[in-house]
Amino acid sequence: MAKAERAHAAYTLANEPSAPMPDPAVSAELSVIVRVHTDHCFLQPDAFWNPSRTHAGRFEDIKLRFAGTAPLRPALLPHHNGMRRIHFRHVVFEPLTEENAYTEEELKLPAQYRTEAWPVDSTAARTALNSIKDTHRTRALQAYDMHGALIPPSEYMKMLRGAVCLVRFNVASYLFGQVPKHRHTFVADVTYMRVLVPPTAPSVPVSPRKRGVHARDPFAALLSRLERPLVTSEHHKQRDIKSLNHAIACLESTE
């Protein structure tokens, strides 16, 4: 523990972004059920990497990120700045070595799971990807849909954004700086995801009350009675009451 803290203190003081980050001091694997936050979901396979942005970093260091919120009871997650959420990440690439070469099972997957065909959206990202295809390998997100099928990288945003998921993750604790100006940073690295409830399609509005659609206006008979002159015969009164009751019954049957 002390050795890891000294290593992180030295890393912070060096202030060298290109230097590799020391190993975490403490790590534990946990599981939680969360809803993937729709506004804090950055699961695009290329992490929206843009070299012109400040602190863009190297393409081979990109990470997928998303926030998870409690699907039913917000109090189950810690409160932070008015919101209750856990921030997750997933490292996409790692240096290719003889020990971590693609397995036979991985080679049977479609090409988009590997470096040579990993999905990217920009020319800059494509150029950067081509430059590391022989030196780095991918670590596709182990995310599965409701039926247990592996979600392709190109579908991460579509199938995970807004979904309720079981997430397994490693919590790593990093210590930066030295006492008394040190600080602890906790990172949740995703190791597994399983969709429990798929996201609601944005094109399908959710209404608190759904009504059936009638081929004919259930109020047409009532309105036609109101448009004609008032009659006082008992026969017409009974007919109007019957029409009104029918319209009300049609409405109630759809609630």
SS (H, E, C) the chain: CHHHHHHHHHHHHHCCCCCCCCCCCEEEEEEEEEEEEEEEEECCCCCCCCCCCCCCCCHHHCEEEEEEECCCCHHHCCEECCEECEEEEEECEEECCCCCCCCHHHHCCCHHHCHHHCCCCCHHHHHHHHHHCCCEEECCCCEECCCCCECCHHHHHHHHCCCEEEEEEEEEEEEECCCCCCEEEEEEEEEEEEEEECCCCCCCCCCCCCCCCCCCCCCHHHHHHHHCCCCCCHHHHHHHHHHHHHHHHHHHCCC
Residue 213 backbone phi and psi in degrees, to 5:
-105, 125
Q: Are 176 and 185 in contact (CB under 8 A)?
A: yes
Query: Which residue carries 């990172």 as its tokens?
Result: 187
Length of the chain: 255
Enter the pTM of the model: 0.64
Domain residue limits, the chain: 2-197, 207-255
Can you give the pLDDT at residue 92?
Answer: 97
Tens-binned pLDDT, residue by residue, of the chain (255 aa) = 445 556 656 666 666 666 666 665 556 789 999 999 999 999 999 999 999 988 889 999 999 999 999 886 554 445 545 556 889 999 999 999 999 999 999 999 999 999 999 999 999 999 999 999 999 999 999 999 999 999 999 999 999 999 999 999 998 776 666 666 666 667 799 999 999 999 986 544 444 445 555 555 655 555 555 455 545 556 665 666 666 566 556 555 544
**Gap between the Cα atoms of 118 and 102, Å rounded:** 14
Can you give the pLDDT at residue 247?
Answer: 57
| Alpha-carbon radius of gyration of the chain | 29
Question: Which of these, 170, 121, 116, 118, lies nearest to 140 by C-alpha position?
Answer: 118
Can you give the pLDDT at residue 113?
Answer: 97
Can you give the pLDDT at residue 93?
Answer: 97
Question: Which of these, 86, 94, 81, lies nearest to 36 by C-alpha position?
Answer: 86
